[in-house]
Amino acid sequence: MSEYLRQNSGLASSGTTSWLSHVKRSDWRSAEGREPQFEATMKLITQGKGWLTLWGPFGVGKTWLLACAVNEFIQKRQQSVYVTAGKLLDHLRDAYGPDQEGYSYAFGQWSSCYALAIDEVDSYHKTSWAADKYRQLMECRYNLRDESVTLLACNIQPGGKGWPDDLGWLASRMSEFPIIEAGGGDVRPLMKGG
């Protein structure tokens, strides 16, 4: 069962994310300013429900923590998926067809999986179709907040300067849950033992 979940986690595919399928909490390297994002992620894993948003510059470990959470939930045999907002919407668009059966199935997978970790939540090709489907999906996740986990990561503070106006509705939903500024500098040297 765990191997099936891992293969469908969005982390095990070949390419840029395959290394993420192996990260675990014991791999985390602490440094000044890095504790808040780690502690908030571990708390969400323990709670097993709700939303968490991590935001901050590139390289501070947001993606790593999303992958760690997905891996932790897979170990508990709970369907968990990592994806970027752009890839998620591409998947929905590819499933869209005249009979709607494929789209309904794809939408159901994303909306009802136990833990959904969406990276780059504020970065996708914004068309009216994509905006509508993204809002529908996030509304489903929001409505399931007491029985599922949604982890979000972005480079801009939700609702802050530079946050896209068309995602104000998402920032509002995020604000009901912890929004943690991820800091501590570039995590890559620490993850390599540097």
Length of the chain: 194
| 3-class secondary structure, 124 | coil
| 3-class secondary structure, 23 | coil
CB 85 within 8 A of CB 91: no
Beta 50-55 vs 149-154: how paired, if at all? parallel
- Four-point Cα dihedral 133, 135, 137, 138, nearest 10: 160
Q: Where are the alpha helices (DSSP H) in the chain?
A: 2-7, 35-47, 62-75, 85-95, 101-112, 128-143, 168-174, 188-191
Q: Is 103 exposed, middle or buried (0-12, 13-18, 19+ CB in 10 A)?
A: middle
- The pTM is what? 0.86
pLDDT at 194: 43
Q: Which residues contact 49 (CB under 8 A, 6 or more apart)?
A: 145, 146, 147, 148, 149
Distance of CA 49 to the CA centre of its chain: 14
pLDDT per 10-residue tile (average), the chain, 194 residues: 61 58 64 81 96 93 92 90 91 77 80 94 88 93 96 96 94 97 74 50
Instruction: Identify the bridge partners of residue 117 per DSSP, sorted by sequence position.
Output: 82, 151
Instruction: Provide the token pair at 165.
Output: 């106006």
Write down the domain spans for the chain.
Answer: 2-13+45-166+173-191
pLDDT at 25: 62
Domain 2-13+45-166+173-191, what architecture? 3-Layer(aba) Sandwich (3.40)
